[in-house]
Chains A and B, each alone.
Chain A
Amino acid sequence: MTYDAVVVGIGVAGLTAALRLAEHGRRVLVVAKGVGSTHLAPGRLDILGYAAGGQRIERPAAALGAFLAERPDHPYARVGARTLSESAEWFRARLGYVGSADENFLLPTALGAVKPTAVVPPSAVGGDLRTGGRFLIVGLQGLKDFFPALCAANLQNAAPVRARAVELHPPLGGEHDVNGLGFAGRFEDEPFREAVVRELRITFAPGERVGFPAVLGLREAEGVWRELEERVRTRVFEIPTLPPSVPGIRMFESLRSALRAAGARIVVGDAVVRARTSGRRVEAVVAEAAGRTVEYSGESFVLATGGFASGGLELGSDGAARETVLGLPIAGLPPHGERFSPEYLGVQPFARAGLAVDERLRPLGEDGNVAYENLYAAGATLGGAEPWREASGEGISVATGFAAAEAIVQSTAR
């Protein structure tokens, strides 16, 4: 069968594009080699946290104009301010999150550094540092991926807050090394929660907001968090920590169920390795799995295969780079030997390498023209951004996934 749209990749960009297309009534297939960065990242929407010069941004939408004046090749310049805000609002509503492109929260990381983020789950909001206050950061013995004392000490230096730390000793049945997912499962047990709350009440001082590592349940997370707030009678919030990311997995599951409910087909485990094309059209993508080859044909295609981190783009040991499905050219690639600055936190010229696209997010070929008229790209495959320096990664994925879907809907209007 021929799908209206085939989306390659199931990270935030692929999920967004596919869900938007399904919402428009299109028959959608999502095919992916495996899950994407959702399982690593905090499950929040960073839109624009830092200006080109490194200053922290409080109001992303308002700062966008000045930012794009310095970054004309940025993906945000392709989608425009309106779509950026609309996509953020759509994402917020779809997930039951809080926030918008207008304003950044200032939230603590597990190190106790501050992080500007625009759209977040309700269980993150209590950590907003902009309003000051007193914080109790809670560690869990047995979880090696969260250090409350370091987090609290750094927070006090970074924001006008008072923060202290406590480590609780939840019942782990003799285990000493439990990861975030293991704790998330345990938090869904009533007796475990009871033990945590009991111990917490002893040290908790009224008026303190309580920050936990983001492991408060997986499937029933919302209920777990609300119950903790009620029982401790204060604001409780979650601080994301090392992968596997519990809030990232929650977000993934939530978008995937929405996608299924909207009638899309999802195939995870098939690696798309090439495409069948005819002239300036892509006819089908070809996937390999378990020793067989499958073709998926469609009217339109979205490449949401991720950047160099996810395998959507590839850099060879000889210094040559390419997009991995269609061999599209990479724009903005600095010369071999000058790609990385010796300063880890310096400007990394390589960061901005990626696909160049037209205003409808269609990748450009070697000749500078649109490579295929029915092929679109979204997310980290796109060049022109420095996601880490800007704190813009998820924002780019949602905005371009959203915009790619709109472009497909318009060009194939029925």
Chain B
Amino acid sequence: MAALQTDVLVIGGGSTGAGVARDAAMRGLGTVLVERRDLADGTTGRFHGLLHSGGRYVVKDPPAARECVPENAILRRIAADCIEDTGGLFVTTPPDDPAYAEQFLAGCRATGVPVEELPVGEALQREPRLNPRISRAFLVPDAAIDPWKTVWACARSAQAYGARILTYHRVVDLVRSGDRVVGARLANDLTGEEVGVEAAVVVNASGAWAGQIARMAGCDVEIQPGKGIMIAMNHRLVQTVINRCKMPADGDILVPIRTVSVIGTTDVRVPDPDEAPVTQGEVEQMLDEGEVLVPGFRRARALRVWAGVRPLFQETKPGLVSDTRDVSRSHTLLDHARRDGVEGLLTITGGKTTTFRLMAEVTVDAVCEHLGVKRPCRTHEESLPGSQDGGHYWLGARLASREPVPRSEQIVCECELITRRKLEEAIDRRRTVNLDDIRRTLRLGMGPCQGGFCIYRATGILHARHGVDAETANGSLLSFLQERWKGVHPILYGDQLRQAHLDDWIFQGVLNVRELAR
């Protein structure tokens, strides 16, 4: 068994874990981050993509809104390239209680969320597809944030400060010595190899799985997974994030992201974070709500549906509620020494991607306290790799970068404008044979055709790379097709059904992949 030693072991490669690893490494602590799958393959890669202005919370949860305001501004600065500055609108549609608008305005003023009321005509000019019967519109600094870029940028920054990032390493057990957690046992799910890590402090940043990890140390943390579904529609129905101006509920936000727009979401308790199936009822609900925001919504193509899982923490230990160091209602930091008498273990869970940096800061503050060191947080001062020039991502960026040399390179994925060279670089850099990893890295196959054309090509290119045999390439293709089907079959109707049939034509009719699955 291979063994590692470190100051801080971070469990979970979502936005929280990546943020903690970066912060710890920047403060000079030896850091190891472990993730059972790929980075941002948990809730962070399945969220709604909204960098909150705070507007959503101004009435229902003002402290959460107050947290979003500075974090939104900080991320716009340090993670500029991961963010598209779409702006956000809160609009009062016919079914919404018109009285909420005044509460909303007052809430924005009280919590510091910058807001400006737009005349309805101006809002409609800005977003012509919007329901023309809206009665009020408010502009806020919502934006779209790319989870994969953000998490990878944090990871790369952490690495630059000496951290080690181990993906596809699953924590199978925490190691205790007396009343102290001293490390963890990991399984490399790609090679089957076992790895041991000794750590002075273990940070459990495993989101909806945090209860499972805490239990390994004998601590009882009650996490209720709450599933939310989202549907990507085949183009940018809107260019601005659109929120319904009403008490937060289901299906009330439409976020433009890259080449698509995403409607969401729901909130349904599920027993197991790894089992979050999409139901027909939820799909219908999203389409109906979409219709309220953008009339004709049901006639647009639904590209893909997926579910993310929120960790809902409930303190079940009587009398201990005050000891949970509840920084705010939006996230929870548990110090298991105080709570359970188990030293060396912290759990950080809940929150939002918008506030991940803040969550990391308070967590690493607690880590430093445990280690008896005093080092200030600097994550708000230093830009992430790729964001140093401060320019935001914009929709035409990939096209612009290709325009000077239009025909000099092969385009592998026409929807997302990915060149062959970019794909080869990503395969080599990621040292992966998993096309789904590449999808998350480059957005390969995430556009309107959902991989119909590019995935055969990517399979061929993967196979041509050093040391990848045909069986591995076939397996990667088949699992990509299966993963894609999971997100497609619950929303097959209309033109998207036709698109799916075109893809069947390619994979089953022309290529006969079925024979490879035998």
Task: Tell me the A residues contacting B by CB distance below 8 Å.
Answer: 37, 40-42, 109-115, 142, 144-147, 149-150, 153-154, 157-158, 174-177, 240-243, 245, 307-311, 314-319, 336-337, 339-345, 350, 388-389, 391, 393
Contacts of B485 in A (CB 8 A): 342-344
Q: Is B481 an interface residue (CB 8 A)?
A: yes
Beta-carbon contact of B505 and A309 below 8 Å = yes
Beta-carbon contact of A316 and B512 below 8 Å = no
Contacts of A157 in B (CB 8 A): 470-471
Beta-carbon contact of B456 and A242 below 8 Å = yes
Beta-carbon contact of B482 and A311 below 8 Å = no
Contacts of A318 in B (CB 8 A): 298
Beta-carbon contact of B512 and A177 below 8 Å = no
> Other than the known A42-B509, A317-B287, A344-B482, what 18 A-B pairs have Cβ atoms closer than 8 Å?
A40-B505, A41-B505, A41-B509, A42-B510, A109-B510, A111-B511, A111-B516, A115-B515, A144-B420, A145-B457, A147-B457, A149-B460, A157-B470, A174-B407, A243-B506, A315-B497, A342-B485, A345-B514
Look across to chain A and name the residue whose beta carbon is closest to the beta carbon of B479: A344
- The verdict on A113 contacting B481 (CB below 8 Å), with A177-B411, A309-B501, A316-B493 known, is no
Beta-carbon contact of B510 and A110 below 8 Å = yes
Look across to chain A and name the residue whose beta carbon is closest to the beta carbon of B473: A150
Contacts of A111 in B (CB 8 A): 456, 459, 474, 477, 511-513, 516
Kindly state the separation between the CA atoms of A114 and B504 in the bound complex, as whole angstroms: 17
- The verdict on A388 contacting B509 (CB below 8 Å), with A150-B460, A311-B498, A314-B494 known, is yes
Query: Interface readout for B90-111 with A: 1 if CB under 8 Å, 0 if not?
Result: 0000000000000000000000
Beta-carbon contact of B516 and A241 below 8 Å = no
Contacts of A145 in B (CB 8 A): 456-457
Kindly state the separation between the CA atoms of A147 and B410 in the bound complex, as whole angstroms: 14
- The verdict on A241 contacting B509 (CB below 8 Å), with A144-B412, A311-B498, A342-B489 known, is no
Beta-carbon contact of A113 and B461 below 8 Å = no
Q: Is B3 an interface residue (CB 8 A)?
A: no
CB distance from B512 to the nearest CB of A (A): 4
CB distance from B253 to the nearest CB of A (A): 20
CB distance from A108 to the nearest CB of B (A): 9
Which 3 residue pairs are nearest across A and B when measured between Cβ atoms? A147-B460, A309-B501, A153-B470
Beta-carbon contact of A315 and B492 below 8 Å = yes
- Pick from A158, A307, A340, A388: contact of B508, CB under 8 Å: A388
- The verdict on A317 contacting B494 (CB below 8 Å), with A242-B506, A345-B514, A388-B509 known, is yes
Query: In terms of DSSP, what is the predominant structure of the interface of chain B?
Result: helix
- The verdict on A176 contacting B407 (CB below 8 Å), with A145-B457, A150-B463, A319-B493 known, is yes
Contacts of A340 in B (CB 8 A): 489-490, 492
- The verdict on A154 contacting B457 (CB below 8 Å), with A41-B505, A241-B510, A388-B509 known, is no
Q: Is B502 an interface residue (CB 8 A)?
A: yes
Kindly state the separation between the CA atoms of A145 and B126 in the bound complex, as whole angstroms: 41
- Pick from A41, A110, A147: contact of B464, CB under 8 Å: A147
Beta-carbon contact of A110 and B497 below 8 Å = no
Kindly state the separation between the CA atoms of A315 and B464 in the bound complex, as whole angstroms: 40
Kindly state the separation between the CA atoms of A91 and B478 in the bound complex, as whole angstroms: 34
Q: Can you name 24 A-B residue pairings with CB atoms under 8 Å?
A: A109-B515, A113-B513, A114-B515, A146-B460, A147-B460, A147-B463, A150-B463, A154-B474, A154-B516, A157-B470, A157-B471, A176-B407, A176-B408, A177-B410, A240-B510, A242-B506, A243-B502, A243-B505, A308-B497, A309-B501, A314-B494, A318-B298, A319-B493, A343-B485
CB distance from A342 to the nearest CB of B (A): 7
CB distance from A39 to the nearest CB of B (A): 10
Q: Is B168 an interface residue (CB 8 A)?
A: no
Contacts of B471 in A (CB 8 A): 157
Contacts of B459 in A (CB 8 A): 111, 147, 150
Beta-carbon contact of B501 and A308 below 8 Å = yes
Look across to chain A and name the residue whose beta carbon is closest to the beta carbon of B407: A175
CB distance from A335 to the nearest CB of B (A): 10
- The verdict on A150 contacting B509 (CB below 8 Å), with A111-B456, A342-B486 known, is no
Beta-carbon contact of B510 and A242 below 8 Å = yes
- The verdict on A307 contacting B515 (CB below 8 Å), with A110-B510, A317-B493 known, is no
Kindly state the separation between the CA atoms of A37 and B504 in the bound complex, as whole angstroms: 12
Kindly state the separation between the CA atoms of A37 and B453 in the bound complex, as whole angstroms: 16
Q: Is B469 an interface residue (CB 8 A)?
A: yes
Look across to chain A and name the residue whose beta carbon is closest to the beta carbon of B469: A153
Beta-carbon contact of B494 and A316 below 8 Å = yes
Q: Is B425 an interface residue (CB 8 A)?
A: no
